[in-house]
Structure formats: C-alpha cells, structure tokens
Amino acid sequence: MARVVIDVMLKPEILDPQGKAVEGALSRLGLAAVTSVRQGKTFTLELAGDVDDTTLAHLHTLAATLLSNPVIEDYVIREVTA
Amino acid sequence: MTLGMRIGVVTFPGSLDDRDAARAVRIAGGEAVALWHGDADLHGVDAVILPGGFSYGDYLRCGAIARFAPVMEPLIDAANGGLPVLGICNGFQVLCESHLLPGALVRNDHLHFICRDQQIRIESTTTAWTSSYAAGQEIVIPLKNGEGGYVADSATLDQLEGDGRVVARYVGINPNGSRRDIAGISNARGNVVGLMPHPEHAVESLTGPTTDGLAFFTSVLAGMVNA
C-alpha cells in the first residue's frame, strides 16, 4: 500500500484567469503582500503494493498523458509514501 | 448527389450538440449516423463530427477524458489515415487533447461563459470542411464557450500561419483571448478541423442567426463526391 501525490500546475507562460480572480479576492481581504496567485490541481493516488521503478515510470506516463496536458501544464510527482 | 454519404456524429456522456450536428448533416444532404462513445468501430462512416457540449462534465480538463473513450481509438487511427473529422467546441478540445491538432483550449481570458453571434473569417478553403467557402469570406455563426481561448507556443502558431492551417479567425472582437484571434485550425493534411464557434447552429433561418454554417457540411459532402 503506497500513496502518491501528484501536483499539476499551468505552465508559467499560460495565463491563469482563475488564479487572477482568486488574487483579486485575496487582496480585498487585506493582505497586500500577496503579489501573485496560481491555481492548480493535486491528485492523491492510493496504490496496492510498493512503488518500484516500473510503477514510477508508469505513473509518469499517466501524469503526462491524462492527469496533465503537457501543452499547457507541468506536473510533479511530489510525494511517494509507502 | 450527396445522398448516401454517411457522416458519424459521436455522442459522449455530456455531449449537447450531437442532435444539431446530425440535423445539419441531413439538411446538407448527407446521412447522419449516431456513434456512441463506447463503440469499438466507426460503422464504416465517411466522416466524423465530434460535437459540442460538456463531455464527462468537463472534469479534469475539457475533452481530457473523452480523448480516452473507446470510440477515439479507431477515430484517431482513421483521422491519421485521412478520414475527414470536424471537432466543434468541445469536439475541438477533444481533438487537441488527442494530439490530432496542436495547442490547447483554456479558460476564456475574461472568465465569463460567452454566448453570442460571432463574426469569423474563413482563412483556409483547402480543408475538407471549408472547400465550399470563398477564401476570406466573413460569416456569422453562434459562439458559446467557457474554455475557448486557443493557446500554443509561438513556434507552433508561426507554423500554423505559415502552412495556411488557420482555418478561421475572429473578426471585430476577440471573444475569449485566443492567440492571434484563432477560431479554428486544421491538421497538415486538412482532413481534421477544430472550430470553436458552432456552424451546426446556423443552418436554418428559423433557428440560426444565418445559414452561414451550412457550407461546413456541404463542403465535406462535396469533397466525398469528388474524391
């Protein structure tokens, strides 16, 4: 049993209007120090068994084909816990 | 005579415009064939339309889950082999997610869902779906989307422009932040076209703002007759 956490974010050069809207709302809450907000997604996958190199390679394939769109997004496999 | 030309219209869970697309095919003189997302083959159709809507609720990314529907496997092979395929709105998103077309569609830059009668200019008449238009012809058809901003890197945009693969461009206003006012593009061969506005909603004077959209459907039928 393992847990894998994958983050997906829009690439820096892609406009993130949702993040902009959140940024606008945050500024109305009074913390002027917030200068930028980007909104992304987190996927938490539960796996049966351990994550070996083969499984990890497969996870990268899944992340690059379905969980993210490489044209507009980057992904990071942030956490693998046994 | 175009009767007997069979054009498949795929229905995914959440598709909305499959009925209108099928109706447009019939009005243009073709036979509309309903294809289901779970189909393992294309039932021998001569062309395919991926209609607008919200396949799989737009979950994950628009078109991302539809791209892995069973029917897409034979469709991607057939499209790479030259089968005419038109993706409208959500269908355009599915074609980009499938890598049949480059780039991606992202949230409108102004964040609002937009629904308007939109003027566009037909920039390429060499595709399977635009051959009945005049080059540079300006038409008005409905546009309705939340994620209609076309994006691609500069090199890809330059290549699309250089190869004449920008099929249609927004005129007057850019309604969603699309790079270089792009409303539709094609693959290199010209058989696969993705379009954000909706020609299938502009085929009858009773319900459409114009009948300007009809030529997308007559184009592909005429192409089959000539082929």
Q: Is residue B32 part of a domain?
A: yes
Q: Which of B98, B104, B86 is closest to B195 using CA atoms?
A: B86
Domain boundary assignment for chain A: 2-81
Q: Report the number of distinct structural domains present in chain B.
A: 1
For B101, the closest chain A residue by CA position comes to: A71
Residue A80: per-residue pLDDT: 87
Question: What is the reported pLDDT for A73?
Answer: 96
Say which CATH superfamily domain A2-81 falls into: Phosphoribosylformylglycinamidine synthase subunit PurS (3.30.1280.10)
In this predicted structure, what is the pLDDT of residue B84?
Answer: 98
Q: What pLDDT does residue B2 have?
A: 46
- What pLDDT, on a 0 to 100 scale, did the predictor assign at position B224? 80
CB atoms within 10 A of CB A66: 16
pLDDT at res. A25? 87
Give the full edge-to-edge strand order of the sheet including A2-10.
A40-47, A2-10, A73-81
Q: What residues make up the domain containing B147?
A: 6-226
Residue B224 and residue B5 in contact, taking contact as beta carbons nearer than 8 Å = yes
Nearest-CA distance A12 → chain B (Å): 12
The encoded tokens of residue B168 equal 């249609």
ipTM above 0.85, yes or no: no
Contacts of A43 in chain B (CB under 8 A): none
CATH of the domain at B203: 3.40.50.880
- Per-position pLDDT tens, chain A of length 82: 899 999 999 999 898 988 988 998 888 888 888 899 999 999 999 999 889 999 999 999 999 999 999 999 999 999 888 7
| pLDDT of amino acid B227 | 60
Asked if A66 and B64 come within 8 Å (Cβ–Cβ), the reply is yes
Residue B92 lies in a domain: yes
Where chain B has pLDDT below 70, the residues are 1-3, 226-227
Confirm whether B1 is domain-assigned.
no
CA gap B108, B124 in Å, rounded: 25
Predicted structure pTM score: 0.92
pLDDT of residue B225: 74
The DSSP 8-state label assigned to residue B180 in this structure reads: G
Q: Which is it for the CA torsion B140, A18, B157, B81, positive or negative?
A: negative
On whether residue B169 sits in a domain, the answer given is: yes
pLDDT of residue B4: 76
